[in-house]
Structure 1
Amino acid sequence: MEAYWIPIRTALAVFPLLAAFLTFPYMIVQYRRYGAIPLLRTVILYSFLLYLLCMYFLVILPLPPVDEVARQTGPSVQLLPFQFVRDFLRETKLDIMNPGTYLTALTQNCFLQVICNIFMFLPFGIYLRYYFRCGLVKTIWISLLVSLFFEFTQLSGLYGIYPRGYRLFDVDDLMLNTWGGMLGYAAAPLLLRLLPSREQLDQNAYLKGRIVTCCRRFAAFLLDWLLIGILLILCMIAVPLLIPALVVVPGFVYAFVIAGYFILIPWATDGYTPGKWVCRIRITGRNERKPALYQYALRSGLLYFVLIPLPIIWFCGYIFDVCTGYREKPRLLLHERISRTECVSTVGAISKQKQKNEKIWLLPA
């Protein structure tokens, strides 16, 4: 069993790093599509990621020494179907007429390996049917192709790292893995009774997406400044080549970026910056009126020239709100109240009739 625990422990160690790397892109995709990141959907997708990691490491680990693999002379391919049945009958002490041999036969490696190959793909079939809404034929094909990828990974010697395949390419593994996916597809309806359907997850996400959260606004903020950073780097490379005598003043560049990107672009696009457009957020005036140019200038000027350089003002504004009992919902930030602007979601609302006809699962954000 230690051979199985090594890959699982490795997957658990790698998963946080991979999850951290994928979190921001995942947030952007969810905000663009739904306007929200519901907890249950996140748990499902990240558990699927961890499960795929475990599967992959079970296939490639533990890694043998390269020189040991180079000395191997045995076959690297097994193309005879149902060889696992012959191996089971040959290697076990099973006697059909003697029930006392049944338990011993079922605990031998030749049988446990077959069971592991089936059960390794059982969750895969459940995920495909429950979350990805795949039919039976599609589940069979995807399970077969993923299993084939794993077998070719072994046959290629881990993509050329080893001089030859260090594990056997076995056609029986393709069959058993595919059967596991089919078994998971058949078992998925049991899970559907415990969890909301994919349609209900989508409805819940759209409902939550009608609220512009601080996390969503921060994601748009990061996207905007990432794009600005790329543009500034390109300008720093190109401008000295085109205009060698030009002297760049950082303060002037900062003011130019704020004026052009956060004032003129939203004013010209009816309240969008590229980051806000991706996250489905729009700047509006009070009562959904289009803000005037001076409102965009006041909003961005206060934010980028006063509040961000002098964060103590945020704290003073919060204390003032507490003392005066400020309760406006959604809560407006200081620069929004002064400029009389606010951020609204552009995610379409679910019709009232649809909400009546279908059950909405209100899950934690």
Structure 2
Amino acid sequence: MLDFYLFPISYAFYTFPIAAALFTLPFLVVQYRRHGYIHKYRALILYLFLLYLMNAFYLIILPLPDSIHNSPPKAESYAQWVPFHFVTDIVRETGARLDSPSTYVRLLTERAFLQVEFNVLLMVPFGMFMRHYFRTRWAICLLCALGLSLFFELTQVTGIYGIYDYPYRLFDVDDLMMNAAGGMIGFVFAEWLGRWLPRIDKLDERTDLSKKRVSYTQRGIAFLFDWAVLLPFFVVLSVARVPYSYVWIIIAYFIALPYMTNGLTAGKWLVRIRLKGQGDRLSLRELIARYGLLYLLAGGANVAFIRSGAHGISPILMLLFALVLFIFDMAIAIHFLRCLFNRDRRLIHEEKSGTSHVITAKSDRTGSSQQQEAR
């Protein structure tokens, strides 16, 4: 019986790194947008919640039938609608006797009793997460527990929503009841456990965003989102053969837009950061110096190399260009790595332009009101 449960649990742990990798980007975006930074305890709880959900789901659906063309279950109905029918199953299958307390221990090894125990224990962590992290009330926790249990039951009775010809497990109203009971037990237990754990809603009370450094991860997400926005425009202008399309895009998006919004782009807005210059507002000189070095010089050299190949330049010149560009890019990469591992160093385009990234306060929608500077 123990192997029956260990098998899906092991699969959950095997596949957790894949799920965690897929979960990380949306997790980072939401956390940066909501809080402005990543709190390690909050991250730990959410990844544990993901691991729990994977274990619960695998325990419900595994093991799978050998073929999608499985045989119908040997039952008159695909659903059991009689509440507390598990009591009848336990009485019928158990070797324990009411008049003999010494036989009660047999319940711990019998299928009917263990199935009820499993359905209760399955949802205890869910109730704990709902109260401790999501700070829900008992009624919301109960509804969510019933909703998750109903999802599990429908997944089973529909043969994983039609993947299998027939259900390989049946819908049981007792499972819904025991799952909901487990969720509420976890909800109550979380109150006791919460006395020794940090309160999720109090994590940011003593956090001073002015002392928080804007991480390269946060900046990297903003960079990726900005270029995801720009890529379709870049493709359209290139297909239309607009002269100097790359230069116009850089000027419009990275110089004109941040000048009008005082340091915001779509990507920076997404992760709650903005550019800050020497004064209250960014100047054109600062933006031109920053993005002229970053995108027009460093980025433009690479774009020019790519486009020069389509203009029939001699192979010798192309080889010389490639060699110079390789040395140039390697120097930039080494400089970036040195800044990455040494917080006292600043990227050259920031140092020369006198600009830096700051974390915006929740009330700062345009970058012109209250700000929290990150050193």
* TM-score between the two structures when normalised by the length of structure 2: 0.81
Q: Secondary structure at the match of 1:282?
A: strand
Structure 2 counterpart of 1:353: none
Q: CA deviation at 1:202?
A: 3.6
Using the alignment, how far apart are the partners of 1:317 and 1:65 within structure 2? 52
2:246 pairs with one of 241, 254, 258: 254
User: CA-to-partner distance for each residue in 1:147-184, whole Å, 9 max, x for gaps?
Assistant: 11111111111101122221111111011000000100
Q: Which has the higher contact order (CA 8 A, sep 6+)?
A: 1
Q: How many residues align?
A: 332
Q: Out of 332, 338, 348, which is 1:334 matched to?
A: 348
Seen in structure 2, the aligned counterparts of structure 1 residues 100 and 188 have a Cα distance that, compared at 3 Å, is: same
**Aligned partner of 1:346: which letter?**
T
- Residue 9 of structure 1 corresponds to 10
Among 291, 294, 302, the residue aligned to 2:285: 294
**SS in structure 1 at match of 2:53:** helix
Q: Which amino acid aligns with 1:108?
A: E
1:79 shift after superposition: 0.8
- Asked if 1:277 is matched to 2:277, the reply is no
2:185 is matched with: 183
State the shift of 1:22 in Å.
2.0
Matched, 1:232 2:246: no
- Separation in 1, partners of 2:47, 2:336: 38
Q: Closer, same or farther in 2 for the Cα pair 1:319/1:86, shift >3 Å?
A: closer
- Separation in 1 of the partners of 2:118 and 2:210? 40
Contact (CA 8 Å) 2:69, 2:164: kept in 1 or not? no
Matched residue SS, 2:264: coil
Cα distance change, pair 147–209 in 1 and its aligned pair in 2 (3 A): farther
Equivalent in the alignment of 1:70: 71
Q: How does 1:20-99 map to 2 (within 5 A)?
A: 20-66=21-67, 69-74=70-75, 75-99=77-101
Task: Indicate the larger mover: 218-227 or 305-314.
Answer: 305-314
- CA distance 1:88–1:68, shift in 2 (3 Å): farther
Q: Structure 1 residues 38, 91: CA separation in 2 closer, same or farther (over 3 Å shift)?
A: same
Following superposition, the deviation at residue 21 of structure 1 comes to: 1.4
Deviates more, 1:310-319 or 1:27-36: 310-319
Residues 282-318 of structure 1: per-residue CA shift (max 9 Å, x gap)? 21211x4312212211110111244566341564699
Q: Which residue matches 1:158?
A: 160
More deviation, 204-213/29-38: 204-213
Cα distance in 2 for residues equivalent to 1:23 and 1:143: 25
Matching residue of 2:357? 343
Structure 2: distance between partners of 1:194 and 1:90: 43
Task: State the 1:107 CA deviation.
Answer: 1.6
More moved, 300-309 vs 128-137: 300-309
CA distance in 2, matches of 1:179, 1:346: 43
User: Hey, what does 1:355 align to over in structure 2?
Assistant: none
Distance 1:91 1:2 in 2: 21
CA contact (8 A) 1:35 1:210 kept: no
Distance 2:343 2:119 in 1: 58
Q: Where do 5+ consecutive residues of structure 2 fail to align?
A: 303-327, 364-375
Partner of 2:305: none
3-state DSSP of counterpart to 2:70 = helix
1:35–1:209 Cα contact (<8 Å) kept: no
Q: Distance in 2 between matches of 1:183 and 1:113?
A: 17
- Partner Cα separation in structure 2 for residue 319 and residue 161 of structure 1: 52
CA gap of 1:122–1:313, structure 2 versus 1, over 3 A, is closer
Structure 2 counterpart of 1:301, one-letter code = G
Higher alpha-carbon deviation: 289-298 or 48-57: 289-298
Shift of 1:206: 6.5
Q: Could you tell me how far 1:51 is from its partner in structure 2?
A: 0.6
Is the partner of 1:203 in helix, strand or coil?
coil
1:192 and 2:206 are equivalent in the alignment: no
Percentage of matched positions with identical amino acids: 40
What RMSD, in angstroms, separates the aligned Cα atoms of the two structures? Answer: 2.7
The equivalent residue for 1:174 is 176
Residue aligned with 2:203, SS = helix
Q: Cα–Cα, structure 1 residues 29 and 327, in superposed 2: closer, same or farther, change >3 Å?
A: closer
Contact preservation (8 Å) 1:284, 1:291: yes
TM-score of the aligned structures, taking structure 1 as reference length: 0.83
1:345 partner letter? I
